[in-house]
Amino acid sequence: MEKLKRELARGVEAGPYLVYAKQFTPGRFVEEENTRILVARGGREAHLLFLKLFHGRPPHYAPWVELYAINWEPLPGLRYADSALERKLLSLVAGHLPPGGKIHVEYLGDRETEEQLQRGYPEPASRLGYLLFTLGFTWLKDWYFPEGFLEGEFKLQGEKPLTEADRERQLSRAAAALRRFLGEKCDDEVCLRARSRAERLLEAIAGRLVLDAAV
């Protein structure tokens, strides 16, 4: 996880954009750190999201990363959702999480993911879920945290399998949910896009999942 910190501090190029961490500050406990991720192009910079990093506490807790307060249109002409920049950043984080590592991504404001999950579609068939699944997070869960009188945050959690047996079990469980979904009526663009992902994932799972993260 220290390597992830160094890469974010140095900056990561995604096409014409540079994504980088502004500063890391201590979190609620010794293993946790917080940072603000900025995106820049042509001398302009803007807030992209906040990132919370937990280094892990072996042998009890694996590392995890949380991305929240996402700015979906941080710069003119840049839509973060479904962009090469989003894939680059999530791929970077995924690459530094070990087996059993977790990612939490806020999706409030990601309209396609919101609608697909609110309809009860399988998480891997949603826009964000599909991306996380292809990055190795074969266990996904949609979370909503109520906070008193305030609306809580909608987050999709992904977890990497700890063992190969876990991976096989999670792939089989996902395939069963995707097959059930494909048996349902589907008659609008939001559903058809989820159905297309479900079909691609089922084919990939049958071949034990070799495909890129492009929707």
Hey, what amino acid is at 56?
G
Q: What domain range is 45 assigned to?
A: 2-206
Q: Look up the pTM and report it.
A: 0.92
Lowest-confidence pick of 65-74, 143-152, 180-189: 143-152
The reply to whether 213 falls in a domain is: no
The reply to whether 212 falls in a domain is: no
The reply to whether 162 falls in a domain is: yes
pLDDT above 90 covers a percentage of the chain that reads 86
Give 40-79 pLDDT, tens digit per residue: 999 999 999 999 999 999 888 999 999 999 999 999 999 9
The reply to whether 87 falls in a domain is: yes
Q: Check which CATH number belongs to the domain holding 120 and give it.
A: 3.40.630.30
* Axis crossing angle, helix 127-134 with helix 189-206, rounded to the nearest 10: 20
Q: Which two tokens stand for residue 8?
A: 């974010």
The reply to whether 106 falls in a domain is: yes
Torsion (CA) 144, 133, 91, 141 in degrees, nearest 10: 20
What's the number of domains the chain is made of? Answer: 1
Torsion (CA) 116, 119, 123, 127 in degrees, nearest 10: 0
The reply to whether 20 falls in a domain is: yes
Give 8-21 pLDDT, tens digit per residue: 999 999 999 999 99
Tell me if 53 sits within 8 A of 3, measured CB to CB.
Answer: no
